[in-house]
Amino acid sequence: MVDEELEDKIEEEIIRLILKSQHQLDGNTTKRRQSRRMVHQNHKEGHDRLFNDYFSANLVYTETRFRRKFCMQRHVFLRIIDALNNHDEYFQMRIDALSQKDLSPLQKCTTALRILAYGSSINNVDEYRFVSSICTIFRNEYSRKPNNRDIERLLQMGATHGFPSMLGFIDCMH
């Protein structure tokens, strides 16, 4: 009889502990959901600052500074942004689940180009997507054998810089 009473008390205690821990878990889950807060990243302010510094009518940084920072001329950069925006929806501005605007195409392309220009890698998936889109968009224009007009232009550029007949010498192509 004592053994049965002891077993009953043990079972009751186990059930009580299980119910108590289950109740605590339910309470913690609710509490955790309530304690989450949205971090306002202010994508619009970042876009406006980038646009005003490099692309507005009243530039903060000159064309020379732009070329040094992005390793290309501004008009080439803008052409790439426009092409990517029309080619891949990832590079378009979207609205997230909280009805907040995502990064602008200008911000996404600036980030991808700077990662490539400086050789650092933050997210290989985005970098791959960027490079893949660039290859798809510009393959026919830039991945072809040079025609007579291209050869003449390259020879003229080489002669202007003191490298006549530079076409064909790989050490003079950089």
pLDDT in the model for residue 42: 79
Rounded CA separation 83/109 (Å): 11
Q: Side-chain half-sphere of 154: how many Cα atoms within 13 Å?
A: 15
Better pLDDT: 137 or 97: 137
pLDDT digits (tens, 9 = 90+) for 111-167: 887 777 777 665 655 667 778 888 888 888 777 788 888 888 888 888 888 877 777
The answer to whether residues 84 and 134 touch, using CB atoms and an 8 Å cutoff, is: yes
Rounded CA separation 137/109 (Å): 14
DSSP state of 58: S
The H or E element spanning position 143 is none
pLDDT in the model for residue 124: 59
Closest CA relative to residue 137, chosen from 86, 91, 94, 90:
86
Find the length of the chain. Answer: 174
DSSP state of 122: S
pLDDT in the model for residue 158: 83
Residue 169 — very low, low, confident or very high, per pLDDT cuts 50/70/90? low
User: How far is C-alpha 34 from the geometric centre of its chain's CA atoms?
Assistant: 30
pLDDT digits (tens, 9 = 90+) for 40-93: 677 888 888 888 888 888 888 888 988 888 888 889 889 988 998 899 888 888
Residue 171 — very low, low, confident or very high, per pLDDT cuts 50/70/90? low
The model carries a pTM of 0.56
Closest CA relative to residue 104, chosen from 93, 116, 115, 120:
93
Max intra-chain CA distance, the chain: 109
pLDDT in the model for residue 93: 85
